[in-house]
Amino acid sequence: MDKIVLMLELQQQLNDATNGAQWTSGVTKNGKEINWKRCIYMECAEMIDSFAWKHWKNIAAEPDWDNLKIEVVDVWHFILSQAIEENAKVGKLSFEDLANQSCAVSSYAGITKQNTLYASQKEIIEQVELLMLDALERDGFHLSKMMEHFFTLVKMSGLDIGTLYRLYVGKNILNQFRQDHGYKDGSYIKIWNGVEDNVVMKGIWEENGDIAPEFLYEKLEAHYEILEA
């Protein structure tokens, strides 16, 4: 549960820095409408592209399991954001209470133990589509239902709460790095010497087991400086 609290705190900080303190009202500091539910189902569509689901193209391609995990973490950013926004509208529970509510779903127990096993491509795609349906519901946002489906997906994707947290922190820092280096105005370079920045970030984490978030940022800075030079 503590990891969920920490991730909620990091998401609040990232959104405050990126979108302004009023983002929970559904608008950025630049007056742009925010739609987290749309972010969720669009990111889910990208997650499905981790698989060779098209019957007319690349039918023998192997699943991209690493990309699947990155997309799971991206969806998690948006679910956390939606949860914080909804919470701000209805009385604002503490992050501890919000985390408790999230962890009360039955599927959370399934990710509290170390896990490296994947479900089948068919099962994962079907689970992703359940999340898409949750995000497309027009009668509001049902946090418990979405958390139930999401934590099931986490387990099916070979992740657990420890690895989800680790990848989340890495992507959170990368997102902050992107914002600091021109992501919004289009000047940011996302492909680093033929490799997407997501992959570079994941490699830094894997090479430095106990790296602190601020040092991860410095490592990204060092890689990016070489790229720009």
| Residues 6 or more apart in contact with residue 206 via CB below 8 angstroms | none
| Residues 6 or more apart in contact with residue 11 via CB below 8 angstroms | 77, 80, 81, 84, 172
**Would you say residue 188 has pLDDT above 70?**
yes
Look up the pTM and report it.
Answer: 0.88
Predicted local distance difference test score (pLDDT) of residue 206? 80
Residue 135 lies in a domain: yes
Residues, the chain: 229
Residue 196 lies in a domain: no
Predicted local distance difference test score (pLDDT) of residue 229? 59
Beta strands per DSSP E along the chain: 191-192, 195-196
Whichever domain contains 112, its CATH number is 1.10.4010.10
- Residue span of the structural domain in which 25 resides: 2-181
Q: Average the pLDDT over 95-121 and give the result.
A: 95
**Beta pairing class for 195-196 and 191-192:** antiparallel
Residue 187 lies in a domain: no
**Would you say residue 143 has pLDDT above 70?**
yes
Instruction: Report how far residue 140's alpha carbon sits from residue 137's, in angstroms, rounded to the nearest whole number.
Output: 7
Could you tell me which of 188, 199, 172 has the C-alpha nearest to residue 228?
188
The model's pLDDT over 177-186, given as tens digits with 9 standing for 90+, comes to 998 999 988 9
Question: For residues 79 and 213, which has the higher predicted lDDT (pLDDT)?
Answer: 79
Predicted local distance difference test score (pLDDT) of residue 81? 97
SS3 (DSSP) at 151: helix
The two tokens of residue 83 are 């949860």
Q: Which H/E stretch holds residue 168?
A: helix 161-180
The two tokens of residue 171 are 């992507």
Q: What is the 3-state secondary structure (H, E, C) of 84-125?
A: HHHHHHCCCCCHHHHHHHHHCCHHHHHHCCCCCCECCHHHHH
Residue 221 lies in a domain: no
The model's pLDDT over 55-97, given as tens digits with 9 standing for 90+, comes to 999 888 999 998 999 899 999 999 999 999 999 988 788 999 9
Type of residue found at 72: V
Beta strands per DSSP E along 89-219: 191-192, 195-196
Q: Average the pLDDT over 173-197 and give the result.
A: 90
Residue 10 lies in a domain: yes
Residue 218 lies in a domain: no
Q: Average the pLDDT over 127-134 and give the result.
A: 97
Predicted local distance difference test score (pLDDT) of residue 73? 95
The model's pLDDT over 37-60, given as tens digits with 9 standing for 90+, comes to 999 999 999 999 999 999 999 888
Assign 204 a pLDDT band (cuts: 50, 70, 90): confident
Q: How many domains does the chain have?
A: 1
Residue 211 lies in a domain: no
Residue 204 lies in a domain: no
Predicted local distance difference test score (pLDDT) of residue 123? 98
Predicted local distance difference test score (pLDDT) of residue 178? 92
Q: Is 35 left (phi over 0), alpha (psi -120 to 50) or beta?
A: beta
